[in-house]
């Protein structure tokens, strides 16, 4: 209990110190706008990004109810997730491509690189899918032939 | 028409919305946040050194490592934060406590602290990442906000830990659920906990590997999510502030370099080149996370100070020809001024400095943020 109390007190103190820094050195107009950005960050996470993953996860799980599909759902789900997270990080780079403060900021062809990255992730997903599938088929055929005491 | 019922805590069927999962993912996110905080504080104190703090000039590449880690841990925290929010998402739909009681008040305070934590952390990661692109679409100053939010995050995190401590303790260790092999997942199609942890670790690794190349040279070619390529720029080195942006156009025959000291010195550029030259292999490491090794040649600052009769342990103010801006002057603490690696650099990677790299002369010192490696230097003042 003492540890919890100490943590809470330290936390409140540091948080108030941060708040003081946040509201210091600022003209009143900006004070109003910053909470809007803070709130926007929560809305983006809680009402867009997380529901999106939950919805896609739900769709994938529903799709996987078909015969034999539970063997492949892992590859499908992980591929979706990795495409999503890498694209999320890529969005600002794609939006700002060519508008860097000088030619050494954002020097890549981000559209090409992003497409290559997603293609690589999907290809890796397909390879994993095929490997999983062939391992399963192999196991099933051995099991049904009876040489390892299958069902 | 009857509207569908709003979701409740029970609407989320996956067994992965579990305190054990939250504890494990929370630990990973916690490590990323702490690394990010400590490296960020180091960078802050480099630029705004309080009197009680001593910052050493060695190891020469320390700032390169800490600031690279700062941006890397922040980037990796994005998938980790999303995974953590996903795990505890059903809590968002928990019924508000009713009727009012002490317990209800505690719940409300706890949920407010989480609101502070999530909003501050999400905004911090967002503005931090956009800053590495030098993109500032918000109406508030970046540096002050980024610094203040860091303290708010740590404060809210400690409060969060205080509230959840019993739950964290109860789920700190592995349970039998995870020790079982992954033959067939419990609900056939569901993800096991081990599977989820692997997937999250994979997402963090993916984001890390594709962005670390802006400071880890070997990963440069695959740094497709990094805003910088360390070898792109004049003389194979990126630039933050160009000569044009700084309002510097070059020098004429009347240009003189001066040292204000007990024995004032004045040199033309040719005279500077006649002084004994030294070589430093010191990286340029930017606050925005990118860094690149470079070979500099020029006159040691400590040699200049000796010529000017300045006492050892002198601090030095460095004055640029830059018209305005935060970094038109900088101050070299005594230890940095005395370090044999600290140069008034005239050459970079075998050639005369490019104008964008500070022609005719710039400061280069070990273990310093790039913004303090002042360019277009025309005066040193011994303090």
pLDDT digits (tens, 9 = 90+) for B47-79: 988 889 999 999 999 999 999 999 999 999 999
Pick A4's closest partner by Cβ from B139, B149, B162: B162
Q: Say what the pLDDT of residue A111 is.
A: 96
Examine the pLDDT at B383 and tell me if it is beyond 90. no
Is A100–B133 a contact, with Cβ atoms under 8 angstroms apart? Answer: yes
Residue A52 within a domain: no
Tell how strand B257-260 and strand B377-382 pair up.
parallel
Domain count, chain A: 1
In this structure, what DSSP letter does residue B296 have? Answer: E
Domain interval for residue A94: 67-146
Residue B233 region by backbone torsions, left for phi larger than 0, else alpha for psi between -120 and 50, else beta = left
Using 50, 70 and 90 to split pLDDT, how confident is the model at A150? very low
Instruction: Please state, in angstroms and rounded to a whole number, the distance separating the CA atoms of residues B190 and B128.
Output: 35
- The average pLDDT across B152-178 equals 90
Identify the residue with better confidence: B293 or A70: B293
- Please tell me which residue of chain A has the smallest CA distance to B153: A15
Chain B stretch 237-266, residues whose beta carbon is closer than 8 A to a beta carbon of chain A:
238-240, 242, 245
Chain Cα centroid distance, residue A38: 21
Residues B75-131 have pLDDT tens digits of: 999 999 999 999 999 998 888 777 888 888 888 888 999 999 999 999 999 999 999
pLDDT at B184 over 60: no
B230 touches B291 (CB < 8 A): yes
The verdict on A70 touching B (C-beta cutoff 8 Å) is yes
* Cβ–Cβ pairs < 8 A, chains A and B: 205
Residue A151 confidence (pLDDT) = 39
Q: Which of the residue ranges B61-65, B192-196, B297-301 would you say has the lowest mean pLDDT? A: B192-196
Q: Grade residue B201 by pLDDT with cuts at 50, 70 and 90.
A: very high
- On whether any CB of chain A is under 8 Å from the CB of B205, the answer is no
Q: Which residues pair with B200 in a beta bridge?
A: none
Do A19 and B232 lie within an 8 Å CB cutoff? no
ipTM summary value: 0.89
User: Is A105 a member of any domain?
Assistant: yes
Residue B308 structure tokens? 């000017």
What average pLDDT score do residues B294-298 get? 96
B2 has pLDDT over 70: no
Across A50-79, average pLDDT:
82
At residue B186, does pLDDT exceed 80? no
Q: A40-49, B187-196, B327-336, B373-382 — which is least confidently predicted? A: B187-196
Structure tokens at B309: 């009769």
B72 touches chain A (CB under 8 A): no
Contacts of B97 (CB under 8 A, 6+ apart): B103, B104, B107, B108
In a domain, A84, yes or no: yes
Distance in angstroms (rounded) separating the CA atoms of residues B373 and A117: 35
CB B92 within 8 A of CB B48: no
Contacts of B141 in chain A (CB under 8 A): 25-26
Flag whether pLDDT at B284 surpasses 60.
Answer: yes
Residue A20 lies in a domain: no
- Name all domains of chain B by residue range, CATH numbers in brackets: 9-222 (no CATH), 236-382 (3.90.420.10)
What pLDDT sits at residue B177?
A: 63
- Which residue among B159, B227, B233 places its CB closest to the CB of A11? B159
**A76 is a domain residue:** yes
Tokens, residue A145: 């032939």
| Strand partners of residue B299 | B344
How many CA atoms does the CB half-sphere of B97 hold within 13 Å?
A: 12
Task: Look at the pTM and tell me if it is higher than 0.90.
Answer: yes
Residue A100 within a domain: yes
Which of the 8 DSSP states describes residue B9? G
pLDDT in tens, B320-369: 998 777 788 999 999 999 999 999 999 999 999 999 999 999 999 999 99
User: How near does any CA of chain B get to the CA of A18, in Å?
Assistant: 5
List the beta bridge partners of residue B379: B258, B319
Q: Which residues of A touch B196 (CB under 8 A)?
A: none
Tell me whether residues B140 and A33 touch, CB distance under 8 A. Answer: yes
List chain B residues with CB under 8 Å of A17. 151, 155
- The pLDDT of residue B188 is 54
Higher pLDDT, A23 or B271: B271
């Amino acid at each position: 209990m003492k540890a919890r109390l100490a943590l809470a007190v330290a936390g409140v103190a540091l948080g108030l110190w941060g708040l003081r820094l946040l509201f210091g050195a600022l003209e009143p107009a900006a004070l109003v706008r910053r909470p809007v950005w803070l709130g926007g960050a929560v809305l983006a996470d809680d009402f867009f990004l997380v529901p999106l993953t939950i919805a896609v996860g739900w769709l994938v799980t529903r799709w996987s109810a078909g015969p034999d599909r539970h063997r492949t759902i892992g590859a499908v789900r992980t591929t979706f997730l990795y495409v999503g997270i890498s694209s999320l990080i890529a969005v600002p780079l794609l939006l700002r491509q060519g508008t860097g403060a000088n030619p050494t900021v954002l020097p890549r062809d981000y559209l090409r690189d992003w497409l290559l990255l997603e293609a690589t992730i999907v290809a890796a997903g397909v390879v994993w899918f095929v490997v999983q599938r062939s391992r399963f088929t192999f196991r099933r055929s051995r099991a049904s032939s009876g040489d390892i005491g299958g069902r | 028409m009857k509207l569908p019922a709003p979701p409740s805590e029970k609407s989320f069927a996956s067994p992965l919305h579990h305190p054990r999962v939250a504890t494990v993912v929370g630990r990973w996110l916690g490590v990323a946040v702490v690394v990010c905080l400590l490296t960020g504080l180091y960078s802050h104190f480099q630029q705004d050194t309080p009197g009680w703090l001593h910052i050493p000039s060695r190891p020469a590449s320390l700032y390169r490592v800490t600031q690279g880690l700062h941006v890397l841990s922040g980037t990796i925290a994005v998938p980790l934060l999303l995974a953590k929010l996903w795990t505890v998402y059903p809590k968002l739909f928990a019924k508000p406590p009713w009727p009012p009681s002490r317990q209800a008040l505690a719940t409300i305070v706890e949920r407010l602290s989480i609101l502070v934590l999530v909003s501050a952390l999400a905004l911090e990661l967002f503005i931090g990442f956009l800053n590495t692109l030098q993109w500032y679409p918000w109406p508030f100053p970046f540096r002050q906000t980024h610094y203040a939010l860091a303290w708010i995050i740590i404060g809210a995190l400690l409060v969060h830990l205080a509230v959840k401590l019993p739950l964290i303790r109860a789920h700190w260790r592995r349970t039998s659920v995870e020790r079982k092999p992954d033959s067939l997942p419990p609900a056939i199609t569901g993800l096991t906990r081990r599977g989820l942890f692997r997937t999250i670790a994979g997402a963090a690794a993916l984001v890390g590997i594709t962005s670390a190349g802006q400071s880890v040279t070997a990963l440069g070619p695959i740094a497709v999510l990094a805003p910088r390529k360390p070898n792109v720029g004049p003389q194979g080195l990126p630039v933050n502030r160009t000569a044009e942006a700084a309002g510097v156009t070059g020098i004429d025959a009347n240009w003189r370099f001066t040292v204000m000291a007990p024995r004032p010195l004045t040199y033309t550029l040719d005279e500077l080149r006649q002084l004994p030259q030294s070589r430093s292999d010191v990286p340029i490491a930017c606050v925005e996370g990118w860094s690149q090794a470079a070979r500099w040649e020029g006159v040691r600052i400590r040699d200049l100070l000796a010529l000017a009769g300045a006492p050892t342990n002198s601090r030095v103010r460095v004055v640029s020809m830059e018209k305005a801006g935060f970094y038109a002057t900088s101050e070299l603490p005594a230890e940095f001024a005395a370090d044999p690696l600290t140069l008034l650099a005239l050459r970079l990677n075998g050639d005369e400095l490019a104008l964008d790299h500070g022609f005719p002369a710039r400061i280069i010192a070990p273990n310093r943020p790039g913004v303090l490696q002042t360019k277009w230097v025309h005066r040193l003042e011994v303090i």
